[in-house]
Amino acid sequence: MAALHAAAVAVALTTLAASPILIAWLVVRADDLAGYADDVIERLPGPLGHEPTARHRPIEDIAADLRRLAAELRAPVLIPAELAELEQDEREAVELDRLARQLEGMEQGIEPAEVATPSAETLRRAAQWRAELRREAVWISYDEALRDACRALGVPHHLDTVVGVELAAERIRVEEDLIEAGLRVR
């Protein structure tokens, strides 16, 4: 009888000592547990869950994005076009700034100062930088489309873990694997 009583006391003390740890773990993991519960409920047929849905975009949409982005990447960078667009944007910005200062000066009774226009060299550098940013944005979109295609077709990839030359090589490898899986990438 004493052994049974000692075992009951030990279980009660262990439960009492472990309760705060369990509560803290539940609080920390509440979002993960709620997400897991939502996933389980969503997969249930009937009134609790929804009908199963695809967890990724249709493969046709992904393939179309890949082809469009690949065409953009093959297109030459047109610095003169970027420069013309940037010069127009800059002219509009200078005019808007001048008008804003003029209105502000009229309200305060102050004569507005002239707004400086950027030099041709500054605009050329800005156009080059803008073109490089656009190209980088297209690469990022292309990599994301490759990841989507890999997820949809179950193709393994390391696009998230490599950079530089290794990333370029991984893109080529993934493109070939997607083509072998039946996706028209180019």
Residue-wise pLDDT for 124-168, tens only, equals 788 788 888 888 999 999 999 999 999 999 999 999 999 999 999
Cα–Cα distance, 3 to 8 (Å, whole number): 9
**Of the candidates 59, 39, 67, which has an alpha carbon nearest to the alpha carbon of residue 152?**
59
- CA distances for 87 relative to 27, 137, 143, 182, angstroms: 55, 22, 31, 45
Give me the half-sphere count of Cα atoms (radius 13 Å) on the Cβ side of residue 20: 3
Per the model's pLDDT, the better-predicted residue between 152 and 36 turns out to be: 152
pLDDT of residue 34: 64
52, pLDDT greater than 50: no
Per the model's pLDDT, the better-predicted residue between 113 and 155 turns out to be: 155
Q: Is the pTM of this model over 0.85?
A: no
Backbone angles phi and psi of 7, in degrees to 5: -65, -40
Cβ(174)–Cβ(144) under 8 Å?
no
pLDDT of residue 170: 95
Residue showing tokens 């700034």: 97
Cα–Cα distance, 160 to 139 (Å, whole number): 13
pLDDT of residue 98: 77
Helices in the chain by DSSP H: which ranges? Answer: 2-28, 30-43, 59-74, 79-108, 120-153, 164-180
Helix 120-153 to helix 164-180 angle (10° resolution) is 40
